[in-house]
Amino acid sequence: MQVSMKIGYYIKKLALRDDERIGALLDRLRSAGVGLYAIETSADVREQTSLVLSFGGDGTFLSAAHRVAEAGVPVMGVNFGRMGFLSDNRAEDVADAILSGCYEVEERDVLHVSCEGACPENFWPYAINEVALHRIGAEMLGVDVNVSGAELPTYWADGVLVATSTGSTAYSLSAGGPICLPDSQVRLITPIAPHNLNLRPMAVPIDAPVRMSARARCGKALLSLDNRSYALPCGEAITIGKAPFTLKRASLGKPNFIEALRSRFFWGQDVRNSTE
């Protein structure tokens, strides 16, 4: 049966471009009449594209999502990485599921960053996992944070990050932040290596604007949005709000986040929890 469908695909690592499993998957789709094309930049995304396949790990998935999220095209991660929280589908399962329409699409919140001063060059103001202010020099940062007009005590730390529920299992988790279910309507504020022992991570409503600015003797800090970084002068504030679009994530079957925690992080692994 011939299928009329247009699908893009994104491969970040050159070593994967000759992988036989990817070749077999793409050949299967082509033989069914699917129009396939490669994506390098957001300008490559064609109209009426049904889906974009991301071949790699979670970092590759984020890179693919940065290119297509504004266009509203769902991204399906085909896992050739390690953790596979966002990119969790096996290559051998994908082609038949796509051709039969047996996949789910969920929507994830995206962060938007606005700059008080001039934005850095080539600045794309959206993040799927987190936005962070980091120290550049050897000294710690003072980070002033305001939530919905209310000033928080200054964080003295290596930095502060603001994460989505999607990003709760990424950088925020490494910094001691809580784990949230992906559909939780919250934003996480997590200090990075804090020197204030009495300032802890906190969750705020997804619609609450968060304003941050940094203080450091070197006069600048590092602003990061997912896997992209920019220099930011100290004292120049950024405001983190909700993007006008969501990330559409496609997966085979309804995602089971709790099972993903168990299988990837060995969450709750304890001899007393064994069923054997």
List active site positions: 58
Q: Give residue 121's region: left, alpha or beta (phi > 0; psi -120 to 50).
A: beta
**What 3-state class would DSSP assign to 233?**
strand
CA-nearest of 94, 3, 8 to 53 is 8
Burial 161-183 (b: 16+ CB within 10 A, else e): bbbbbbbbbbbbbebebbbbebe
Distance separating alpha carbons of residues 151 and 212, to the nearest angstrom? 10
Distance separating alpha carbons of residues 160 and 76, to the nearest angstrom? 30
Distance separating alpha carbons of residues 2 and 107, to the nearest angstrom? 29
Structure tokens at 43: 């300008």
Distance separating alpha carbons of residues 7 and 45, to the nearest angstrom? 10
Helix axes 91-100, 20-31, angle to 10 degrees: 10
Distance separating alpha carbons of residues 160 and 154, to the nearest angstrom? 10
Amino acid in position 81 = G
DSSP output for 174-226:
HTTPPP--TT--EEEEEEES-S-TT---EEEETTS-EEEEEE-TTSEEEEEET
Polymer length in residues for the chain: 276
